[in-house]
Amino acid sequence: MQQQNMTQNQTMAMPQPPQVISTKDSMYLTDMLSWNLLAMKKAHFFARQCQDQEIISAIERAGQMHQRHYGIIMSHLQNNNQRTQPMQ
């Protein structure tokens, strides 16, 4: 019974992000940003190494996808930060 309740709680989505994030969550967000930034840089580097335009295009699209993901994560963090700052 207890395991069933835990499974139900784990699958429920949060309607809003918490006001304060844990250290573990912060570290995970930092990792996600780093992974996307690194993937974006690698895609740019490898696209410059290719000569086949189709491959270059595919790699550049992958890099742009990671750049979008990086931007989305940053915008979520900035929006949440603006909501939690006290008004002066």
pLDDT in tens, 68-83: 999 999 998 887 666 6
Place of tokens 């994560």: 73
H-state helical runs in the chain: 2-11, 23-49, 53-84
Region of 42 on the Ramachandran plot (φ > 0 left; ψ -120 to 50 alpha; else beta): alpha
Question: pTM of this prediction?
Answer: 0.69
User: Do 41 and 25 form a contact (C-beta atoms < 8 A)?
Assistant: no
Q: Quote the pLDDT of residue 43.
A: 97
* pLDDT band of 16, cuts 50, 70, 90: confident
Which residues are CB-neighbours of 70 under 8 A, at least 6 positions away? 33, 36, 37, 40
* pLDDT band of 46, cuts 50, 70, 90: very high
Q: Report whether pLDDT(15) > 90.
A: no
Average pLDDT rounded to a whole number, residues 50-66: 97
